[in-house]
Structure 1
Amino acid sequence: MPVCMACTPKRRRAMGKVKPQALPFKDAHDFWKEKLQLSPKEYYALSDEAKMKAFAVSGMARGDELAMVYEALTRAIEGKIGFEDFKKGLSDVWEKRGWTGVSAWRVDNIFRTNVQAAYMAGRWKQAIRAAGTRPYGQYSAVLDVRTRPTHTAVHGMVYPLDHAFWDTWWPLNGFRCRCTVKTLSERQVKNQGLTVQTEDMTGKLVEPVDPKTGNKVPARLLMPDPGFTYHPGKSAFGGITPAEGPGGLTDIGIRTFENYKRRKMDNLPVAAHHRFTDKDLLENKADYMQRTGHDSKAAEAHFVKAFLTEFGLKAGEVMVYKDVLGEAVVIGEDLFKTAGGKLKITKKGREKYLKLLARTIKEPYEVWLVPQKNIQTGRVILRRRYIAAFSDGPDNKITGFATFDYDRHGWEGVTAFPPDKMAYTDALRNGALIYKK
């Protein structure tokens, strides 16, 4: 009879010395590292789904303390520390703010809510990958004295992962929520005798059962806790159905320039304009190629160089430029490349206004944090939008404007000279106003 080497005494002794090591949840970390650190005021100006792309702590402005809390949570999500280490490592911060003793629940809330949100967003990314063989999700609540009645009411419900129910009920569904979702295959649903729901029960009256007593509690609307009626995973990673191609982005900022009592673009004070002349403009690509005889590739390189020169850079050089907020904008040739490495600097004819786009980054009139949704996947991103107005005549009337949208994955530049409608420019001023002249 063959001998099982894993069962020999020597092998068992060797295996007994192996210490299992916890591995970080990469998908949770992917969700967490995309978050932007904001002040509470900036954070609360965003829609609920856009807030999932941001990080803020009530009563804590952007700065060193917020960065310390963010970094500690990063280590927790990476599996390097637990709650006690998190609490102890930032004890000076908590004591300074009085979040000790009876107020220590604040620290627990910061830790549990953020770590669980990252993990459940990561679980959604896993569900997307496995949807072909595990197309169903089953809601799972803890069912103890701390479980909220509405969370108890949806415990055990099974829905297809692409059902609208999950747009509202994919956890996190409240502060310190511990609910999860189990994905299931067709065979598991059948073998366990589960019913796949087709009707979305959200918003209907239910009578949840108290898991401790078994008695029904008073009827209530079946809804997550206030402020949690969105899908954190979908906002971060998109939906189950893959996009047919590059999806367009649409602004979903809930506040506009009017909410901040800002003037319309066609009524800005003279001091808000940038003066420009013909020397601030470049010739377009076609004219440049005809004049110089250069091919398309050489023309693209010429325009990249013109933009980089505005920041004192040479071809191939990269810098981290700090904007008026102290936020980083990485300036370099890669800024103008597609995922495939192809230059895209002349898209929409913007090459003519590259110097003005550079000035918009350096000296904006406003900077907005704009939530944008991919209309095909549902994924939400947050971009900083730099806006500037330009004039070239003696009457100082606006003759053009430029916007520069930026996040760590790319940018989009928009210019209009002359603008057809200033209302279009005003429509771009939405989200959270994070800088103003």
Structure 2
Amino acid sequence: MTTTIQALDLPFDEAIAFFREKMSVTSEHWTDIWQKANSRAFTVAGATTQALVDDFRREVAKALERGTTLQDFRQSFDDIVKRHGWEHVGKPGWRSRVIYETNLSMAYAAGRYEQMTEPTTLTMYPYWQYVHSGAKHPRQEHLSWNGLTLRADDPFWKTHYPPNGWNCGCRVRPLSAKGLERQGKLKPDVSPIIDTRPWTNPKTGQIVHVPVGIDPGFDYNPGDAWRQLGSAT
């Protein structure tokens, strides 16, 4: 499996800027900070003290700025857990990977979005193509989107810009008109119809409708949310 982290050059300024602008926020449940709010908040589900959240944030920042590995992060994770006496859900190896990969993938996605929406870049590369991670056991919807090529301003990217779930390694690459032709296409694909399914928030009981194939809370574009929330402040 090729993850977003492996597919991109590390580090790069836009991804680092995205993460640096986040505020550390405590939480009890992973749904406390929901969807687009994650573009401005750094949180670890169940981390209820500011010092604990700050320590995790510092280690994720190291990974972005210095390229530290998952193994490095896991060692720091164990040290932080011991120092704070944190009782977390899930095994340490699984929990540390979720924190590390989710935060880095979101930062890289937002940073790449910032790069691809530069006016000059959009003029040269007006199309975006969905690239599946190549996971051994893929989500079938994610696999079905592999190679899907749409205009950069297509509404599809508002909800389906990857990552589209926990441990999702999918990404988007820009494509020029010539690149489209080389793939045997005279024009971009037809934007898919977006089907949704009801999902009940286990903490609040609220029912929301989530696009099929996307994990709850991931149906947004982190780069676009970062830009929109930034312009609102």
Shorter chain as normaliser: what TM range? Answer: 0.7 to 0.9
Identify the match of residue 154 of structure 2 among 133, 147, 163: 163
Q: Does 1:236 align with 2:223?
A: no
- Judge conservation of contact 1:113–1:176 (CA < 8 Å) in 2: yes
Output the amino acid matched with 1:48. Answer: Q
Q: Distance in 2 between matches of 1:46 and 1:100?
A: 17
Shift of the 44–204 alpha-carbon distance from structure 1 to 2, 3 Å rule, reads: closer
- Judge conservation of contact 1:223–1:229 (CA < 8 Å) in 2: no
Q: Which residue of 1 aligns with 2:132?
A: 141
Q: Which residue of 1 aligns with 2:66?
A: 79
- What is the Cα deviation at residue 89 of structure 1? 2.2
- Judge conservation of contact 2:160–2:220 (CA < 8 Å) in 1: yes
Greater share of helix: 2
Identify the match of residue 120 of structure 1 among 90, 103, 109: 109
Greater share of strand: 1
Q: Which residue of 1 aligns with 2:183?
A: 192
Shift of the 102–138 alpha-carbon distance from structure 1 to 2, 3 Å rule, reads: same
- Judge conservation of contact 1:202–1:223 (CA < 8 Å) in 2: no
Where 1:84 maps in the other structure, the secondary structure is helix
Query: Residues 411-436 of structure 1: CA distance to partner in whole angstroms, max 9, x if unpaired?
Result: xxxxxxxxxxxxxxxxxxxxxxxxxx
Query: Residues 311-363 of structure 1: CA distance to partner in whole angstroms, max 9, x if unpaired?
Result: xxxxxxxxxxxxxxxxxxxxxxxxxxxxxxxxxxxxxxxxxxxxxxxxxxxxx
Gaps of 5+ in 2: 1-8, 198-210
Could you say which structure has the larger radius of gyration? 1
Q: Does 1:227 align with 2:214?
A: no
Structure number with the bigger relative contact order (C-alpha 8 A, sep ≥ 6) is 2
Q: Which residue of 1 aligns with 2:95?
A: 106
Output the amino acid matched with 1:110. Answer: I
Query: Residues 350-407 of structure 1: CA distance to partner in whole angstroms, max 9, x if unpaired?
Result: xxxxxxxxxxxxxxxxxxxxxxxxxxxxx11498xxxxxxxxxxxxxxxxxxxxxxx6
Q: Distance in 1 between matches of 2:90 and 2:177?
A: 49
Give the aligned length: 207
Q: Distance in 1 between matches of 2:159 and 2:12?
A: 24
Identify the match of residue 47 of structure 2 among 33, 48, 60: 60
Output the amino acid matched with 1:230. Answer: Y
Q: Map of 1:286-305 to 2, 5 A cutoff?
A: none
Identity, % of aligned pairs? 28
- Judge conservation of contact 1:37–1:62 (CA < 8 Å) in 2: no
Q: Map of 1:295-374 to 2, 5 A cutoff?
A: none
- What is the Cα deviation at residue 110 of structure 1? 0.3
Q: Does 1:38 align with 2:25?
A: yes
Output the amino acid matched with 2:189. Answer: Q
Shift of the 98–38 alpha-carbon distance from structure 1 to 2, 3 Å rule, reads: closer
- Judge conservation of contact 1:36–1:55 (CA < 8 Å) in 2: yes
- What is the Cα deviation at residue 42 of structure 1? 9.3
Q: Which residue of 1 aligns with 2:79?
A: 92
- What is the Cα deviation at residue 151 of structure 1? 1.1
Output the amino acid matched with 2:19. Answer: W
- Judge conservation of contact 1:48–1:230 (CA < 8 Å) in 2: yes
